[in-house]
Chain A
Amino acid sequence: MWFSKKNRVDEVVKQLAHSPDFMCRRIECKGKAVSVLFLSNLINHAHLQQNVLAFIHEQEHISIEQLARCLPIGAVSICETEKEMASYIRDGWAGIYIEKEKRGLVVNIAEKVERSLEKAETESLVLGPKMSFTESIDTNIRILRQNITDQKLVTEKMTIGVRNPLDVRVVYIEDIADQTNVQTVKQRLTELQIDEVIDSSILAQLLDDHAYTIFPQYLLTELPDRLAYSLMKGRIGIFVDRSPTVIICPTTFFSFFETTEDVYLRWTMSTVLRAVRMLGIFASIFLSPLYVAVITYHYEVIPSALLLTIGESRSRVPFPPVIEALFLEFMIELLREAGARLPTKVGQTMGIVGGIVLGQAAVEAGFTSNVLIIIVALSALGSFTAPSYEMGATIRILRFPIILLAALWGLIGIFIGVSLLLIHLLKLTSLGRPYLSPMYPFRFADMKYALIRLPIKFYNERPKTNRPQNSRRFSWREAMKRKDLDE
């Protein structure tokens, strides 16, 4: 609809009338009435006064075209309709309308609220860059561009959400990332029919291949260096406005157990750390079920040196092992949840009270055995070694069904659980790519990206799991040469 012959400004005012911070400044300039419209909470007032109002006053001759040409502001746009102008004003732009002109002008003087850049909290590191993404997509893209100056970096803009549109950017390196993967991401984003998306974690769930699984299928990271690393290895990143985490896809099971620190540390240390982490995860899932199975069904396998210790501490406990284990696991979960919900200072006290006092008291009162306390504490610690918060939570929950299976059928039950889990993992995909790669399908060359870490010179090829268009990073032969040797 064209700006009507009636007072067009009133039409815009009507659309924004429910906002008390909406302002309409009318100024008289060279005999023409100029209206400047804005939402006062969203704009930078200094900017408005110096670059808009003052500029308009200085003009000899005034028209929309002339203003659009001369205003000292980066982003200006000419609006044909009142509705369009109102939506710009809602984004923090200022609308300028000159009496008796058909079109209006909008200028960007928005000032967005944004927290300053801080250290990463959920993925904290000892070595390497500490900066984390923030809630503003513009800032995040800026950080990314500082990290990757590659000419082939593509940041494609898309909008999702019908009622509350959200700015989403798909980023990848054009000549590395697999085109099929890029197409899949874009197609899934365009086909998304939803009123609004609040956070990237929700978007990740909307893009899931398998909605019912317990395993997360996309990596969420708040570390720019991790994203840059993944992009350069052929993965795709999805930025979501208002969210400090970026989605990385496609993802494999093993990438949830990697941290960027693995790359920063020397290879020996990282290999050991990865092994420790894997062992921790394994122990976290299987230690308590093993305890239940062994104490309930298979006392034969207890070494004779341990028999008395375990037997004595068990003889004080009035419950069957499965109740004992579930009780203690529940207590640990309770402590963790309480600690996470409470303010930091109170949280620390909670940890001490829960860990020491409750544990000790439970043993004293004969509710649990000493051995189980150690086992449960170990498995809780193990689950916290998972660098990804989501995967850590998954592992903590996985324990419970396996404990129940162990209580029903002993070691056989545990193996039924393991088999079902394995079958499930084999079936999973992330963005249509196998989840368990490089284990299945087996890719030997990619093992160095998943389970172990080798010296840097062995990383001359990008992981095949990501199907990079261009897999070569550097020449192996050049890397093996020693140039500083004087002979």
Chain B
Amino acid sequence: MKWFIVVMLLLSGCVSPRVLERQGIITATGFDKKGKMYEGGSVMLSFKKMGSSMSEVIEATNKTSKGFRQDLEAQTSHDLGSGQIRVVVYGKELAEKDGIFGLTDTLQRDANIGSLVYLAVGEPSAKQVIKSKKHEDTPDIGTYLYRLIEKNLRSESLLAATLHEFIHSYYDVGKDAVLPCLSVRDDKPIIEKVALFRGDKFVGTVRLDESFYIKMLSSEYNTGLKNMTVSREDVAPLLIKKKGKKVNIVINEIKTKRKIKLISQKPTPHFRVTVNMQTEILEISDKTKPIMKDNVHILERAIEKQMKKEIDQLLVKLKRYETDPIGFGQIYDHSVRKLQLTDKQWLQLYKDARIDVDVNVSILRTGTID
């Protein structure tokens, strides 16, 4: 028996080795649309014996992403390895017209690629993002993009960016995916906006300060910083000077809890969203009277009012794009018995859905200065 197992293992042969330094390690890939073909580039890391290592971008055009891989293979002496892919960027045009599911699906099927790969939309094209030469102190653009997205996810200014989350939202009825949108400024990729999806198709973008609300409404929010502009009238009793129109307030250490309830289904779905927020004041642009226990509510109400306004605007915008990144559809699906909600049905309901937002802000501290 013992020998049988040993012989069996030996005869079953070995996996073909993929020795690290023989690999051309791809750290990022970008796809764009060029007529009916995919055009794209991959960032390949090659190790140098002396001095610092270099990365190089190789490009190809093909009908499928695996065919594209074969074209790339022809251009290098290394075996291309996709096991270290960190970021995949899709051009805006590609995402808008063809949808990206076909391309994400092959990533999902490749066992070498983890499901925590970050996806992003490149504006105006993925090629421009990938071919950027500015990547700070990182050795290649792939690592730079990876760290950029990771940092912004950690500081909670982005919602979700991993392949896993994208695929999950894609298959989930009543929730649409969002991805970071990389734009190029001075030849350097930065995150300015968040791309909204319906199914696997790109429909539009929202600014990062708007995506703050999406994040707040779709899950709990725990860190971060938010700049609010409130009208002067609302906080008038606190101010010393009476001139000007707006007051800027920066709130910090935001902790929110949200509750979304379906109140009625007919004639149109009616949701009530309650957000409880605890925060502290970091900065106020005007000189104020000392903020005490008995007048802090003025500030709280002003922030609540402004937030409610901004959320309402955002919801209108989302409805216009016909996308539901917050997941009202999911809540609808959970709350209504014996319902097999489909994406199409929900889209009809969503257009007319009434969403009341209620924000309760409590300011715990008004800053550590006395």
Contact = CB atoms under 8 A, between A and B. Distances in A.
Interface of A: 294-300, 302, 304, 307-308, 310-312, 314-317, 320-321, 408-410, 416
B19 A295 contact: yes
A311 B83 contact: no
Given A296-B17, A317-B21, A321-B19, 18 more contacts: A295-B20, A296-B19, A296-B20, A299-B18, A300-B81, A302-B20, A307-B45, A308-B45, A311-B21, A311-B47, A314-B19, A314-B21, A314-B47, A315-B21, A315-B49, A321-B20, A409-B15, A416-B9
Contact of A296 (B18, B114, B139): B18
Interface of B: 9, 14-15, 17-21, 23, 25, 27, 45, 47-49, 53, 81, 83-84, 86, 112, 114, 139, 143, 146
Given A308-B53, A409-B14, A315 B47 contact: yes
Main secondary structure of the interface of B (DSSP, over half): loop
Nearest to B9: A416
Contact of A297 (B17, B21, B48, B53): B17
Contacts of A410: 15
Given A312-B48, A408-B14, A300 B83 contact: yes
A295 to B, nearest CB: 5
Given A311-B53, A416-B9, A297 B83 contact: no
Contacts of B45: 307-308, 311
B283 to A, nearest CB: 35
13 contacts: A296-B18, A299-B18, A299-B25, A299-B81, A299-B83, A300-B84, A304-B84, A308-B53, A308-B139, A310-B20, A312-B49, A314-B47, A416-B9
A144 B99 CA distance: 83
Given A300-B84, A304-B84, A314 B20 contact: yes
Contacts of A320: 17, 19
A307 B18 contact: no
Nearest to A301: B83
Given A299-B84, A311-B53, A314-B47, A304 B18 contact: no
Contacts of A308: 45, 47, 53, 139
Contacts of B146: 304
B143 A304 contact: yes
Q: Top 4 closest A-B pairs, CB basis?
A: A300-B83, A311-B47, A315-B47, A315-B21
B114 to A, nearest CB: 7
A249 B25 CA distance: 55
A339 to B, nearest CB: 33
A485 B13 CA distance: 72
B24 to A, nearest CB: 11
A315 B47 CA distance: 6
A312 B52 CA distance: 8
Contacts of B143: 304
Contacts of B9: 409, 416
